[in-house]
Structures are given as C-alpha cells and as structure tokens.
C-alpha cells in the first residue's frame, strides 16, 4: 500500500510540475505579446484619454467622486475640502476637453455639460483657518476660464466665465499669504490672509501662470498680486536648480524632499513661472529642469500609486507625478526645436503613453474618488501640448 501511495505522490508531482511549466510558458507568451503590441501614438493615447473622460463624467456634468475605497485617507479637516477637490478636478477635466472638443463632437458635448455644472457651482471656500485645498479649485477655474475666453466657439459662454474668473481672482487675492505665496495649509492660524509660514512653491507658481493666462484674456489682475507671488517663489529657489517645498521662514534646503531628486516633479512649474516673468530662468535652465525630470524619473515612478504620501525615496509623493508632467509639457513648448529638445519631448510623451491604463485613464495617487479623473485631465492636457511638437506636419495640414 505504501508503494502505491508513493507512486501516486510521484505522479501528482510530475503533473504539478507540468502544469506549472505550462502556466509559466503562458505568462511568458503574454508578456511577449504585450511587448510586441503596437505602441499608441501620442494622438491615439490622448484620444483614448478623452474617451475615458467622456465615459466617466458624472450625470450632473462634474468629474470625480467623494467616495474612497480605503480606510485611511489624507487629512481633510471637513467636507469643504471635498467640495474643493470636486470643483478642481471638474475644472481640470473640462480644461482638458477644450482642445479635443474642436474636432470631436462627443468631447464637445461632454465639455458643455461640464461647463454648465461649473458655471452654476457656488464659490469654493476654505475648509477652515488652517486648511484650504480650495487653492487648487481657484487655480484651475481661472485656467479653464482663460481657455474658454480664448475660444471663439464658446462665445456664448464668455460673459459667464469672465464673471467667474473675476470672482476667482478676487478670492485668490484674499487667500494670498503675507509672503506673497499660495498654499493649502496654515496650521495654528485663522486669519483672512494666511501667514505665509506654509506657502508652497508649486502652488504659487501654478497660480502665477493661471493669473497671466486670464490677464491675456482681458481680466484685470492687481499688479501687486503677481509681483508678490514672484517674490515668494524666488525665495524657494536653490542654487542647484531645485525649489524648496514651501517658503517657511526656516527652510530646509538639505532635506531630501528639497533636493533635485525630491523636487523634479515640482520644479517644472516653478521654472516655468519665473521664465515667463523674466525672473532669472532662461531656456537653458528650463531644459536642464526637464533633464532633471528625465534623469530622476524613477524616483517619481516609485512614488506613483502609493497610498501614503511622501513615503517613497526623497519623500516623493504620487500626486507630483502628472502635475509635474503637465508643466513639463509646457516647458517643452518653450524650447527651441533642436535634436536634444526633440528627444526630451519624445521621452516625455513616451513616459505618458507607457503609464496609461488599458481603459484610457491615468492614475498617480488615490485621492478619495478623484485620482483617475484628475490624473487623466493632466495627461490629456499634456498630450494635447505635445502632439503639435511631435506631429508638426499633421497638425499643420489639419489647420484651416
């Protein structure tokens, strides 16, 4: 009997090894098939992202949801922060649809629903004296309004979005800190204007760019508003090309998150704002910043998708990822067309294409139910900027 059991065990072992070998071969075949699958072009990738936005728009026209699939989330303070995330995400996705809507009727219809929702949305306010994530909502509502006002096809919406932009500028002025910057925390204080102890360099730079965009559409900006923002931003600039996370009175330039490897996703927008303002960043420095992003990209990739912010090397966080890639695409637009810059542009597009999910979305950070929507909005905006650089002849032939 023992001999019979030993033979059964030996036979079973052979079968298990055979099955394991077959499964391994199937896995290898799947990997090889994935590797040989045709890589989407930047336009195809962008269009797949647009299709995802169309499919995932909420019935009311907004984007993103309050729900979270995990137990522990980022600090919220109160539900006003949810309102801020919701409006910011919706504005970002609507902004991303403006360019595709020129040639895609489905995208145009989706954009119309989003604009209806945003035009009717009440003012997004700070959660408390200490917490104001609404800075993101104000920044991207201003950027969206600028895109709407620049588009003759949307002339019927110009009056409403000009009024909206004026409201957002005034409220952003109230939330401008004593040091001239913007941020989303001011712990221990509850003043009408934040103290400036926790202004963040990247929020400040993004707001400066948004204010200039809407100013080009005829909306008046108080001169001191941008001037003070530049003063704040310049205090965060380090000699090695990085920018400190914030503009605290006692910054820590040697902290890992303030090194180039920890700030490559944030420094793109900072360089861009100072370059556009003529404040000491030339095109060579813009390109060097983009090279920083390429050379240290793996540190950002390690942080992408992690549920706990700043736990990756050099305290990188997932939410820097597509934010940084979008402003990197704007840096690429400002560089001369030469082989080195074209290689950087192509690398940036390829990085975005590689990270795209099969459903057409992108994702970098699990922020309640907004992660896929805001990341896809940033990525679609990035691709729309890169397509003319990578397909110049196709774009020219399609122009009227």
pLDDT value of residue 397: 36
Distance CA 96, CA 102 (A): 12
pLDDT in tens, the chain (400 residues): 444 434 444 444 545 555 555 555 555 555 544 455 689 999 999 999 999 999 999 999 999 999 888 878 888 899 999 999 999 999 999 999 999 999 999 999 999 999 999 999 999 999 999 999 999 999 999 999 999 999 999 999 999 999 999 999 999 999 999 999 999 999 988 888 899 999 999 999 999 999 999 999 999 999 899 999 999 999 999 999 999 999 876 667 788 989 999 999 999 999 999 999 999 999 999 999 999 999 999 999 999 998 888 889 899 999 999 999 999 999 999 999 999 999 999 999 999 999 999 999 999 999 999 999 999 999 999 999 999 999 865 443 334 3
Residue 118: phi, psi to the nearest 5? -70, -35
For the stretch 221-258, pLDDT in tens is 998 999 999 999 999 999 999 999 998 766 677 889 89
Query: What CATH class has 41-398?
Result: mainly alpha
pLDDT value of residue 23: 56
> To 10 degrees, what angle do helices 201-215 and 267-276 make?
40
Question: How many Å from the N-terminal Cα to the C-terminal Cα in the chain?
Answer: 87
Distance CA 57, CA 274 (A): 35
Those residues whose C-beta lies under 8 Å from the C-beta of residue 243, and which sit 6 or more positions away, are 201, 202, 233, 236, 237, 258, 263, 266, 267, 270
Distance CA 65, CA 369 (A): 5
Domain ranges of the chain: 1-37, 41-398
> To 10 degrees, what angle do helices 321-334 and 339-355 make?
150
3-state helix, strand, coil in the chain (%, to 5): 65, 0, 35
User: pTM for the whole thing?
Assistant: 0.89
Structure tokens at 395: 């774009």
pLDDT value of residue 391: 87
Residue 378: phi, psi to the nearest 5? -60, -45
CB atoms within 10 A of CB 347: 17
pLDDT value of residue 30: 54
pLDDT value of residue 116: 98
Distance CA 60, CA 41 (A): 32
Structure tokens at 360: 């057409």
In whole numbers, what is the pLDDT of the chain averaged over residues? 90
Chain-centre distance for alpha carbon 390? 21
């Amino acid at each position: 009997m023992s001999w019979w059991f030993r033979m059964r065990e030996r036979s079973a072992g052979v079968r298990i090894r055979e099955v394991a070998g077959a499964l391994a071969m199937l896995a290898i075949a799947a990997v090889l098939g994935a590797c040989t699958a045709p890589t989407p072009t930047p336009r195809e990738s962008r269009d797949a992202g647009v299709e995802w936005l169309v499919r995932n728009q909420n019935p009311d026209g907004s984007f993103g949801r309050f729900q979270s699939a995990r137990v522990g989330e980022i600090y919220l303070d109160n539900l006003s922060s949810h309102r801020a995330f919701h409006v910011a995400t919706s504005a970002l996705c609507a902004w991303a649809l403006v360019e595709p809507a020129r040639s895609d009727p489905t995208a145009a219809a989706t954009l119309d629903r989003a604009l209806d929702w945003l035009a009717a949305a009440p003012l997004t306010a700070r959660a408390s004296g200490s917490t104001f994530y609404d800075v993101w909502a104000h920044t991207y509502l201003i950027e969206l309004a600028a895109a709407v006002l620049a588009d003759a096809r949307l002339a019927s919406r110009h009056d409403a979005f000009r009024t909206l932009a004026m409201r957002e500028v005034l409220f952003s002025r109230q939330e401008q800190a004593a040091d001239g910057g913007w941020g989303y925390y001011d712990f221990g204080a509850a003043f009408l204007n934040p103290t400036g102890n926790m202004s963040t360099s990247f929020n400040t730079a993004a707001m400066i760019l948004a204010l200039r965009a809407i100013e080009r559409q005829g909306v008046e900006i108080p001169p001191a508003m941008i001037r003070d923002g530049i003063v704040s931003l310049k205090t965060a600039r380090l000699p090695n090309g990085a920018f400190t996370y914030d503009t605290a009175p006692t910054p820590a330039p040697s902290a890992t998150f303030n090194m180039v490897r920890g700030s490559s996703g944030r420094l793109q927008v900072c360089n861009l704002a100072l370059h556009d303002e003529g404040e000491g960043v030339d095109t060579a420095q813009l390109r060097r910043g983009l090279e920083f992003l390429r050379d240290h990209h793996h540190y950002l990739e390690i942080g992408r998708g992690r549920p706990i912010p700043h736990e990756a090397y050099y305290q990188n966080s997932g939410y820097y990822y597509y934010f940084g890639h979008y402003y990197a695409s704007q840096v690429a637009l400002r560089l001369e067309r030469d082989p080195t810059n074209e290689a950087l542009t192509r690398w940036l597009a390829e990085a975005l294409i590689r990270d795209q999910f099969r459903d057409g979305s992108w994702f970098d950070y699990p922020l309640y139910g907004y992660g896929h929507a805001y990341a896809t909005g940033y990525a679609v905006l990035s691709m729309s900027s890169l397509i003319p650089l990578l397909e110049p002849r196709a774009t020219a032939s399609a122009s009227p």
